[in-house]
């Protein structure tokens, strides 16, 4: 195999003995490239380089960090079309979605460039005389960043940018399925001038590279985004490690979208179709559970089904494609397994669910909608992570809210209603980290916190200013001014 794309370890591009092909899911005959797969020893070398680089980088000037991150953000945005095309080619989301994700990654770097200049602390009086208290934030150390395949550039960006901004050094392990976007992003970061060892790219297997990061005492913190089972494994390792590692987990979702009788029908249909099926339903925030009250149920199901039949499922890079292919054969098998399971469980498949053939061999699946879904069914409880959504009937708002909260997950939740009363009540009472009113459950801003509750997330939030909770550690410093407690002079004491 001719491995064109190498890992970046300790300031050098390193040849690997093993590699893997990156395949285009819209056309399995198209190989995007051959990418290095790091060994455990290479992962350890990257960790050691990051460890050695930490003291100098943690004290580097905030102007330097700002300039590097700004440069990264600017180059990403300037090359959005080319990078978006690469992303869509390897992951399968449509070209506009790919370009949009690239722009988002650039904006995140620009945002955190600004954050370098805004890091602040607190100075407080002490309860003891002559003492002052200063609270400052310091970087954590070497951070291991483990990312999934479904946002190949945005998720790495929202971990790498704050990690570097706050003075940490980085070992970045992208998902096996999407090394090309990770590699392109890494080239930009390196070109922007990060000093040797500060940023390291180690493409490779989770069981090899990921495990090496979890086992190394030189890694102080792990930020992980991926599935619940892997997240649990990561958590166990971090908590039993000596010393324990700081930990941030963003995992799966089974996000409810509630549609009430008084909803604006066109808004509700748009929220459901966009939220459940765009990006081929492969978003942790996808509206995979749609909960609809009696009065609007049948009209809503009919309108969504009609809309699904008009969606263009095709090659991600083709103009006019609205839904790209599923990412790979494993994910397609999982989607088909759940489509069969839903039928066996007694749900009604009212649209899609069949394999589609297109000009090129790819993983094309017609977006599937199930109705008559009981919230106890496995298709309503387990994350499928594909273009498959369920509709569950609810008597009224109260029952809809109860069903929305009856899930092990708690990432995002949405409601479509024209009632201020129900919108306000839902915002306050739904058990999710993010709530959307008359908006799809997917689609978020980059300058505000992102994350969930219950089985979806663990640890501090990502993104926006809240990212500093994970990427910094707080120091409380007490200083005594040396003069002793101030004693006011009293008459006659001179
Ligand atoms: P995954 O859990 O299979 O893999 C995620 C990452 O973990 C990959 O880089 C993988 O190589 C690595 N990994 C695997 N085994 C490991 C191990 N033993 N030690 C360390 N690392 C290991 O997830 P995926 O299939 O890439 O992504 C899909 C999942 O990600 C879905 O469940 C989705 O909901 C979730 N996701 C969550 C969010 C969020 O912010 N909540 C965002 C995007 C995706």
pLDDT in tens, 400-457: 999 999 999 999 999 999 999 999 999 999 999 999 999 999 999 999 999 999 999 9
Ligand 1 centroid vs 82 CA: distance in angstroms? 26
The phi and psi torsions of 40 (rounded to 5 degrees) equal -60, -40
Q: Which residue among 213, 215, 226, 388 has the greatest number of ligand 1 atoms within 8 angstroms of its CB, and so is best to mutate?
A: 226
Please tell me the distance between residue 145's alpha carbon and the centre of ligand 1 in angstroms.
11
The response to whether residue 22 sits with its C-beta less than 6 Å from ligand 1 reads no
Residue 66's H or E segment, with its range, is helix 62-78
* Residue 383 CB–ligand 1 contact under 6 Å: yes
Kindly give the distance from the C-alpha atom of residue 456 to the centroid of ligand 1, in angstroms, as a whole number.
12
Neighbours of 406 (CB within 10 A): 16
The answer to whether 172 touches 160, Cβ cutoff 8 Å, is yes
Domain covering 7-251+456-478: architecture = 3-Layer(aba) Sandwich (3.40)
55 Cβ contact partners less than 8 Å away, ≥ 6 residues apart: none
Could you tell which of 40, 148, 254 is best to mutate to test the pocket of ligand 1, judged by most ligand atoms within 8 Å of the CB?
148
Tokens 């064109």, located at residue: 4
Q: Summarize the confidence of residues 162-181 as an average pLDDT.
A: 98
Q: Which atom of ligand 1 is nearest to the CA of 227?
A: 32
| SS3 state at 434 | strand
179 touches ligand 1 (CB under 6 Å): no
In degrees, rounded to 5, the angle at the alpha carbon of residue 311 between the alpha carbons of residues 306 and 312 is 150
Where are any strands of DSSP class E within 91-210?
A: 122-125, 131-139, 142-146, 169-173, 199-201
What count of other Cβ atoms lies within 10 Å of the Cβ of residue 28? Answer: 15
CB 87 near ligand 1, within 6 Å: no
Q: Which residue has the tokens 């699904």?
A: 308
Question: What atom of ligand 1 comes closest to residue 284's alpha carbon?
Answer: 34
Is 149 close to ligand 1, i.e. is its CB under 6 Å away?
Answer: yes
**Do residues 125 and 172 touch, judged by C-beta distance below 8 A?**
no
Taking only the tens place, the pLDDT of each residue in 296-322 is 999 999 999 999 999 999 999 999 999
Give the domain ranges of the chain. 7-251+456-478, 256-437
- List the catalytic residues: 250, 284
Q: Whose CA is nearest to atom 20 of ligand 1?
A: 210
Helix, strand, coil share of the chain (percent; to 5): 40, 25, 35
CB 181 within 8 A of CB 152: yes
Which pLDDT does position 490 carry in this prediction? 76
Residue 483, pLDDT > 90, answer: no
Residue 160 has pLDDT above 70, yes or no: yes
Tens digits of residue pLDDT in 256-281: 999 999 999 999 999 999 999 999 99
Residue 487 predicted with pLDDT over 80: no
User: Relative to the CA of 250, which ligand 1 atom is closest?
Assistant: 41
| Residue 469 three-state SS | helix
Q: 256-437 has which CATH code?
A: 3.40.309.10
Residue nearest to atom 22 of ligand 1 (CA): 206
What pLDDT does residue 484 have? 67
Interior angle at CA 217, CA 213 and CA 221, nearest 5: 60
**pLDDT for res 2:** 66
């Amino acid at each position: 195999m001719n491995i064109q794309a190498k890992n970046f370890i300790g300031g050098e591009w390193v040849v690997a003995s093993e590699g893997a092909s990156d395949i285009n899911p819209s056309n399995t005959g198209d190989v995007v490239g051959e990418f290095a797969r790091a060994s455990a020893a290479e992962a350890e070398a990257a960790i050691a380089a990051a460890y050695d680089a930490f003291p100098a980088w943690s004290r580097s000037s905030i102007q330097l960090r700002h300039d590097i991150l700004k440069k990264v953000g600017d180059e990403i945005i300037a090359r959005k079309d080319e990078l978006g095309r690469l992303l869509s080619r390897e992951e399968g989301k449509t070209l506009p979605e790919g370009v949009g994700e690239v722009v988002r990654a650039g904006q995140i770097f620009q945002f955190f460039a600004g954050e370098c200049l805004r890091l602040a602390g607190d100075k407080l009086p002490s309860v003891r005389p002559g003492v002052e208290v200063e609270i400052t934030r310091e970087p954590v150390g070497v951070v291991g960043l483990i990312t999934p395949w479904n946002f190949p550039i945005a998720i790495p960006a929202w971990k790498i940018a704050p990690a570097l901004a706050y003075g940490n050094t980085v070992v970045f392990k992208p998902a096996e399925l999407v090394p090309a976007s990770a590699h392109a992003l890494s080239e930009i970061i390196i070109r922007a001038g990060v000093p040797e060892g500060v940023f390291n790219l180690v493409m490779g297997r989770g069981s090899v590279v990921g495990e090496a990061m979890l086992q190394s005492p030189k890694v102080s913190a792990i930020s992980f985004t991926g599935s619940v089972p892997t997240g649990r494994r990561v958590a166990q390792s971090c908590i039993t490690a000596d010393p324990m590692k700081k930990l941030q987990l963003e995992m799966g979702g089974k996000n409810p979208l509630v549609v009430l009788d008084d909803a604006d029908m066109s808004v509700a249909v748009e929220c459901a179709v966009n939220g459940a099926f765009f990006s081929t339903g492969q978003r942790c925030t996808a509206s995979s559970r749609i909960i609809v009250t009696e009065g609007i149920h049948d009209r809503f199901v009919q309108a969504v089904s009609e809309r699904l039949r008009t969606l263009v499922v095709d090659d991600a890079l083709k103009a006019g494609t609205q839904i790209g292919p599923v990412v790979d054969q494993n994910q397609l098998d999982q989607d088909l397994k759940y489509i069969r399971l839903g039928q066996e469980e007694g749900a009604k498949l009212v649209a899609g669910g069949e394999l589609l053939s297109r000009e090129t061999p790819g993983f094309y699946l017609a977006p599937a909608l199930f109705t008559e879904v009981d919230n106890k069914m496995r298709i309503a409880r387990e994350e499928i992570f594909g273009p498959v959504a369920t509709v569950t009937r609810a008597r009224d708002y109260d029952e809809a809210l109860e069903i929305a909260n009856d899930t092990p997950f708690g990432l995002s939740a949405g409601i479509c209603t024209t009632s201020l009363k129900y919108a306000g009540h839902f915002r306050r009472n739904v058990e999710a980290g993010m709530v959307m009113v008359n908006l799809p459950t997917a689609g978020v801003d980059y300058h505000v916190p992102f994350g969930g509750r219950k089985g979806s997330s663990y640890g501090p939030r990502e993104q926006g200013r809240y990212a500093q909770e994970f990427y910094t550690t707080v120091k409380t410093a007490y200083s005594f001014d040396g003069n002793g407690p101030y004693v006011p002079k009293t008459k006659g004491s001179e």
